[in-house]
Structure formats: C-alpha cells, structure tokens
Amino acid sequence: MEARTNRHRRANIHLWVLLAIIGDVMMGLSGSILAFWLRFNTALKGVGHFSVQEIGQYDGHLILGTLSLIGVLAWLDVYEHSKILQFRWVSRRIIKGCLLWTLGFLAVALAFRIEPPISRIYMAINGVTTVALLLLWRRFYDAMLRHPQRLEALQQRTIIVGWTEDAEELQHVLDAQSAGAYRVTGWVATSREMAVQPTGLTCLGHADDLEGILHGNDADLVILADLSGPRERALEIANLCEREMMGFKIIPACFRIFVSGLQLETVAGTPMLGVSRLPLDNSINFFLKRFIDIVGASVGLAISLPIMAIFGAIVYLESPGAIVYRQRRTGIVGRSFDIFKIRSMKLNAEEGTGAKWCTVADPRRLRIGAFMRKWNIDEVPQFWNVLRGDMSLVGPRPERPELIANFKHQIPHYNARHHALPGMTGWAQVKGLRGDTDLTQRIRADIWYLENWSLLLDIQIMFLTFFKRANAY
C-alpha cells in the first residue's frame, strides 16, 4: 500500500512538472507575440531601419524561439521536480535563462542570416516581455502548489536515520522552508544509548527495526546521517530502501566544507566522492572576474585619488608621518603580499602590543580614523592591490600572517577561505561581520561566498558595500 501511494505521489509530481512546461510554452509564445506587436504596431515601428513585418513571417521565429527557450530552461534544471516548490530559485534561473536565450538566439540568427531577418529591437523587447510573463505565471503556479493538500502530496516525506550535528542543521533549514521539497516526519535512533531527542521531532524507533518502521510510515526518502556504525549497516539500509522503492541519501559527514562542490566521479572504474570544483575553479569564471577587477579598480583608483588626497592631508595634520602604509597580509593559497591602506592609527601603534585587531574606542586610533573605517575610506588604496593581482574587488578579507598562525588551529576550516583572491569587500563584510566579530560566522560567510559565487553576487556585494557602513573599529 505504501509503495503504491509513493508511486502515485511521484506520478503527480511529474504531472505538475508537465503543467509547468505547458505554462512556460504558452508564456513564451505570448511574450514573443506581445513583443512583435510592441515592435511593429506602436511608436517603436519607426525606430531604426527595419521594414515592418507581418506576424505570419515570424511564425518560424516564434516557434523556434519558444522551443529553444524551453530547452535553455531545462538545461538550467528549472524542470527538476525537486525544485518546483522553490519559487525564488526558479525565478532566478528563469531570469538567467531568458538572458542567455535572448543573446544566444540573436547571435545564431545573425550568424546564419536566418530569413526573414530578425529585428534586434524585437529580440530585446521579447526578452523583457517573456521574463515578465513567465514570472507572473510562475507566481500563480506557485500559489496553486502551496494549497495545503497539494503541498502535502508534493513534499517528500523524509525519515532521518541517526542524529548528528548535520542532521540537526538539516532539520532547522527544512523547518524554515514551510513550502520546501522535503518534510521530515521522524527520526530513527542508531544506538540504544541515544537519549537526546531532536526538538519537536518524533522518534520512530531503532535502526534494527527500520523495515517495520518504513512499512508503518508513508515515507518517500530515507537520509542516513550517522555513519559511525559498521559499513554493512549502510549497505543494508540502502538495499532496504531499494526493495521498498524509496529514495536513499547519505549525509557525508567527512566533508564539512565546500559541500556544493562534491561530485561523484569514476577513477579506473572505482567511484570516488570528493570536492572537485568550485565556481571560481572554472577558468572562464576566473578570467571574467579578473576582467571586472581590472576595469573596476582602474575606475575606482581614478575616482578615489582626490579622496585619498583630502583624507591623507587630514591624517598628516593630526599625526605627521607616513599617510599610506603597507601591512603584510595572506592571500590566495597562502601567498603573502603587502596591502595598502590610509593610516587610521597613530604611528607605531603596535609597537608595544603586537598584531591585534582594532576594537571599539581603541586608544591607538586617530580621531579621523573612526570616520574612515566606518565608511571604508581607509581601504581605497587597495584598488592598486587589485590592479596588481594581489586582491579582487570582492572576496574574503585578507588577514595578517601572525593572526592566521593561530586562527587556522582554533577556527575550523579557516584556511579554506584562501581558495580565492582576497577582496576589498566581501559577503561577510556586508553582513556586518567585520573587525572584532564572531570569527566562526565570518568564515561560514566566506565559504558560502566561495561555494555560491556568481558575477551577479559580486555586483550585489559591491552595491551593498556603499549602503552598509562598517562598525567603527
């Protein structure tokens, strides 16, 4: 009975995915027709040197364009059934897909001289109208899915075997997603001595009785969180799930960082699980980020020269001596470099204390120093570090080697942040994690950035840097 129920539920999921595809096709066609009308039947028809077309001449473009759009969205996993309840994720992929589709379709049409010729203004309008209609349709579609009965049918009922820190973190994330793809219905103990029960989650029994537990609970997925037992137990649970036609997943507890880069690959016929790639390991992404760094740093340096001159003069009047100073920092893969900053402290501020962070009301700080640090003005000379290739505009902030010598032993995964160029600003900084703040939270933010890097994320962080003032340390 349970297996039949699960098969019926999975069939319903595929029907909902089919409905999403049909709706996307209709919105794609509607967006193209609307774009044609705006281009050739409004005041825009007089723009450029393009003869007015009849919509019948564009039939091929409309059909080919819509089918290729659906292909791009499918390539971006928009129609993956485990994602249909994640409206924000789907929306971001739709926007990205429509941008790629617009540029790609126009490039192909121009390169192969497809007849009739296609208007570039029409394609630009088509991209906008299609995105708008797709997002409106997907909002309506998402509201349909969130009906309590449909949501219950679409969510995968999940049982967690064993209870660990990873399982607890997973439960917190899933609980925060009221309309997520998974719903944890209970957990199963793997040791008779396990006395701590997760808050608000029912203990269904012991792993020795898992087969009976699965028969008595309408579950779709089993997640093995505790790998401390014998290898045979994991194999038995996997085989049991296979017999009962249930999904089976393992939380790889040996991996605590870069989990989004985990990939299963085959080496000499042997399957291996490991961290094989991060977004910035891709050469195209690396060079694209470097290009943005060079352009941004060149503009930033030109604009900031008057600012450096003004604040440099103020610093000198308050504390005569060097205005810009060098400080040794650790960068990508542990490589050391000299960072440039406008001096915000007294000369020889660390002569008696050694290397340490600036704190609230630090007596070593200049009067103008608090203002500069609050608005990141002391950091502007680092545009030169970016041009030299020591740093990026966005990335984990570089720390001093003397501090890292202790941090790498005290803070889990500290040195993982050195997989990329350090940045003038970063995700941790716009989240308020700067100066004398929680290092563990800061490292988590840096690792999250490395795992989720995109050009749009860099732009978002640069934009937020101007509006989120740092703590005045």
Calculate the CA dihedral of residues 348, 352, 355, 361 and round it to 10 degrees.
-80
In angstroms, the Cα distances linking 364 to 224, 322, 473 are 53, 16, 11
In angstroms, the Cα distances linking 328 to 116, 331, 403 are 62, 10, 11
Amino acid found at 210? L
From first to last of the 473 residues of the chain, give the pLDDT tens digit.
444 455 455 557 778 888 999 999 999 999 999 988 888 888 787 776 666 567 777 777 788 889 999 999 999 889 887 788 888 889 999 999 999 998 887 787 777 776 667 778 888 899 999 999 999 999 999 988 888 777 777 777 888 888 877 787 777 777 776 666 778 888 888 875 554 567 778 888 888 888 888 877 778 888 888 877 777 788 888 888 877 777 888 887 655 566 655 666 655 555 656 665 778 877 888 899 999 999 999 999 999 999 999 998 998 888 888 888 888 998 888 889 999 999 888 776 665 555 555 655 666 778 888 788 777 788 899 999 999 999 999 999 888 887 777 777 777 677 778 888 999 999 988 887 766 667 778 888 888 898 889 888 999 999 888 776 544 34
Nearby residues of 349 by Cβ (< 8 Å), 6 or more positions away: 364
- According to DSSP, residue 345 is labeled B
Q: What is the pTM of this model?
A: 0.59
Strands across the sheet containing 156-161 = 203-206, 182-189, 156-161, 221-224, 247-250
Nearest alpha-carbon partner for 24 in 169, 189, 180, 135: 135
- According to DSSP, residue 83 is labeled G
- According to DSSP, residue 470 is labeled P
- According to DSSP, residue 336 is labeled E
Q: By the 8 A CB rule, do 342 and 378 touch?
A: yes
Q: End-to-end CA distance of the chain: give it in Å, rounded.
A: 64
Taking the C-alpha atoms of residue 310 and residue 380, their distance in angstroms, rounded to an integer, is 12
Helices (H), 177-230: 210-216
